Structure formats: C-alpha cells, structure tokens
Amino acid sequence: MIDDPRCCGSGACVIDPQGRCWCGQTWDGEQMCQPEQEPADQGEDKKMNPKILQIAEQAGFMLWQKESWNPGDKIDWSARYDEELKKFVELLINECTDFYDAYADHSPDKTNFALAKHNIKKHFGIN
C-alpha cells in the first residue's frame, strides 16, 4: 500500500489492521519495527529437516546464518528463486527415486521399482 504512511518506502508493504506487514515488521504507533526474535530452538515443529535444507542449499537457495536481522526463517525468501525452485524439485525427486533404488535392491521384483522410478521422474518432467 504505497499511500499508507506506515509503508517503509518500498511500495511493497501490505499492512493488516493490526499493523503487521507481510515482511514481519509491526507498526508501533510511530514507526515500523522489526519483530522480536524467538529463540532458535522453539521445539521440533520449528525445525526444518536437515536433508531438506541441504537440498535447498544445493539448489542455490540462500540460507540464513546467524544474522541478527533474521526473521526466524531458515531460507531467505527475499530473492526470486524461479530457477532454484526447479533445481530443488529435481534434486528432491532424485533423492526420492534414489530411495526407491535402495528398496529395489532388496526386492525380488526390481522391475516394479524401476517402472515406478521412471514414472515419478516422467510425471515431474525430470530426465
């Protein structure tokens, strides 16, 4: 909302009736303020699977480190990730089909596993 006096000047602010912007800042009556930081270990539901983080980093996503301005996320979503998202999906599907391979090694009928792997990759457009 560009005409909103609470906008930071980016022209991208979307501020709800409680004064919260989509970026995490909150209107305190005088200015927009950064949200209070939650401690890093807020329980299992706040943690991202390390394998997912590893695949995201491999795909080119920028990960937050220990910056003080981190809004509490693992992935920095402030960039366009069109190509990285495609790569992420490809890596994730490959990881899943490799998992199939591990089971196929212990199966008497490897054909069904090979066909399933092929069909999953075909479904997602991965060669």
- pLDDT score at 42: 46
- CB 13 within 8 Å of CB 1: yes
The residues with which 63 forms a beta bridge, in sequence order, are 75
- pLDDT score at 15: 77
- pLDDT score at 36: 66
Mean pLDDT by runs of 10 across the 127 residues of the chain is 67 75 78 67 60 90 83 81 90 83 67 77 77
Q: Is the dihedral of CA 38, 41, 46, 48 positive or negative?
A: positive
Per-domain residue ranges of the chain: 1-36, 46-123
- pLDDT score at 59: 94
Output the pTM of the full model: 0.51
